[in-house]
């Protein structure tokens, strides 16, 4: 009797395990390689076969950026035809179909990528703002002496998502090989980066941009590089314009700080720069 009961118990356990295995396979996990997840994202940067992506899903967080290698991956154009990596450009909206695995790193990485589908060409506003930051960094180079930190106040940018802002900061930090992070003047002040008596950012620069929403093929923005109360440079009343070659911008006026944070000296210089 005991032997019969033991055999029945073993049979019940075996049947339960088989049922669980079948349920796991049907759910797309548990070793079923047919499971697919889709990441809808914008291409923020390209380096060989590696692309930096910003999640474009509604509600995506500021840290929702991904570094993905697409070497050897099947790529489809918007009309469903076979394409290749040369079709992947900054600003493109794509669907990345993968096995659902997300590796927690910064930027995050995806598991097995099955294919990439190009959806449409989006706006490369981040590329434009990268050019603006580069141009600001070049002017009045004395402000850059002994700088090892780049801080960015993008709270008043309306033409980028939070994930796009983070991706832009990541790109600039890599390009300049410096520590780069998002922060307002108040954040830097409270965290001790800015000397409260001298109003001086000893180890870094604070860049800030504020813009208006895109209207047609243009919008307005202001940009600033700040080192101290007596050391700042401004691109004011700038106009961004979209052409067949991408976004370019013109500067309405350039300004430098003169004696304190509220007094500035106007420089009568109009400049034009473009982002291709």
Q: What is the DSSP string of 24-47?
A: HHHTT-TT-TT--EEEEEEEEEEE
Rg (alpha carbons) of the chain, rounded to whole number: 25
pLDDT for the residue numbered 33:
59
Long-range contacts of 266-274 (CB under 8 A, 24+ apart): 271/135, 272/248, 273/131, 273/132, 273/135, 273/248, 273/249, 274/131, 274/245, 274/246, 274/247, 274/248, 274/249
* CA–CA dist 142, 39 (Å, integer): 43
* CA–CA dist 93, 120 (Å, integer): 5
Task: Determine what percent of the chain is predicted with pLDDT higher than 90.
Answer: 78
Q: What angle is formed at CA 216 by the lines to CA 252 and CA 242, rounded to 5 degrees?
A: 60
pLDDT over threshold 60, residue 263: no
- Give 258's pLDDT tier (boundaries 50, 70, 90): low
Continuous segment of H or E residues that includes residue 83: strand 82-83
Length of the chain: 276
Terminal-residue alpha carbon distance, the chain: 83
pLDDT, tens digit (0-9, with 9 covering 90-100), for 64-90:
999 999 999 999 999 999 999 999 999
Whether this model's pTM surpasses 0.75:
yes
pLDDT for the residue numbered 72:
96
pLDDT, tens digit (0-9, with 9 covering 90-100), for 79-137:
999 999 999 999 999 999 999 999 999 999 999 999 999 999 999 999 999 999 999 99
* CA–CA dist 209, 156 (Å, integer): 7
Better-scored residue on pLDDT, 257 or 190: 190
Average pLDDT of the residues of the chain: 87
Pairing mode, if any, of strands 179-182 and 149-153?
parallel
Dihedral sign, Cα of residue 96, residue 182, residue 207, residue 219: positive
* CA–CA dist 133, 165 (Å, integer): 13
pLDDT over threshold 70, residue 29: no
pLDDT for the residue numbered 197:
87
Domains along the chain with CATH numbers: 37-121 (2.40.50.140), 125-274 (no CATH)
| Tokens 């990268």, residue located | 130
pLDDT for the residue numbered 31:
38
pLDDT over threshold 70, residue 15: no
Using CA atoms, how far residue 152 sits from 173, 193, 212, in Å, is 11, 13, 18
- Give 41's pLDDT tier (boundaries 50, 70, 90): very high
Q: What are phi and psi of 161, to 5 degrees?
A: -75, 170
> How large is the average pLDDT for residues 15-27?
39
């Amino acid at each position: 009797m005991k032997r019969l009961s033991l055999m029945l118990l073993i049979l019940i356990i075996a049947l339960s395990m088989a049922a669980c295995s079948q349920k796991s396979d049907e759910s797309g996990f548990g070793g079923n390689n047919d499971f697919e997840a889709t990441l809808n994202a914008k291409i923020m940067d390209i380096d060989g076969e590696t692309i930096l992506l910003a999640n474009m899903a509604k509600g995506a967080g500021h840290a929702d950026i991904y570094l993905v290698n697409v070497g050897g991956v099947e790529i489809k154009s918007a009309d469903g035809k076979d394409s290749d990596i040369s079709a992947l450009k900054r600003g493109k909206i794509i669907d990345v179909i993968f096995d659902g695995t997300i590796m927690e790193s910064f930027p995050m990485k995806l598991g097995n990528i099955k294919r990439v589908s190009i959806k449409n060409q989006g706006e490369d506003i981040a590329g434009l703002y990268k050019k603006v930051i580069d141009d600001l960094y070049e002017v009045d180079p004395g402000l850059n002496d002994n700088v090892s930190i780049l801080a960015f106040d993008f709270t008043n940018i309306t033409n980028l998502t939070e994930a796009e802002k983070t991706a832009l900061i990541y790109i600039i930090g890599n390009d300049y090989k410096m520590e780069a992070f998002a922060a307002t003047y108040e954040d830097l002040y409270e965290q001790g980066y800015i000397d409260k008596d001298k109003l001086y950012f000893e180890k870094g620069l604070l860049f800030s941009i504020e813009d208006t929403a895109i209207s047609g093929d243009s919008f307005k923005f202001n940009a600033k590089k700040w080192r101290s109360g007596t050391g700042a440079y401004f691109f004011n009343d700038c106009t961004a314009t979209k052409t067949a070659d991408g976004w370019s911008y013109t500067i309405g006026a350039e300004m430098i700080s003169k004696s304190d944070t509220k007094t500035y000296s106007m420089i009568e210089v109009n400049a034009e720069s473009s982002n291709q």
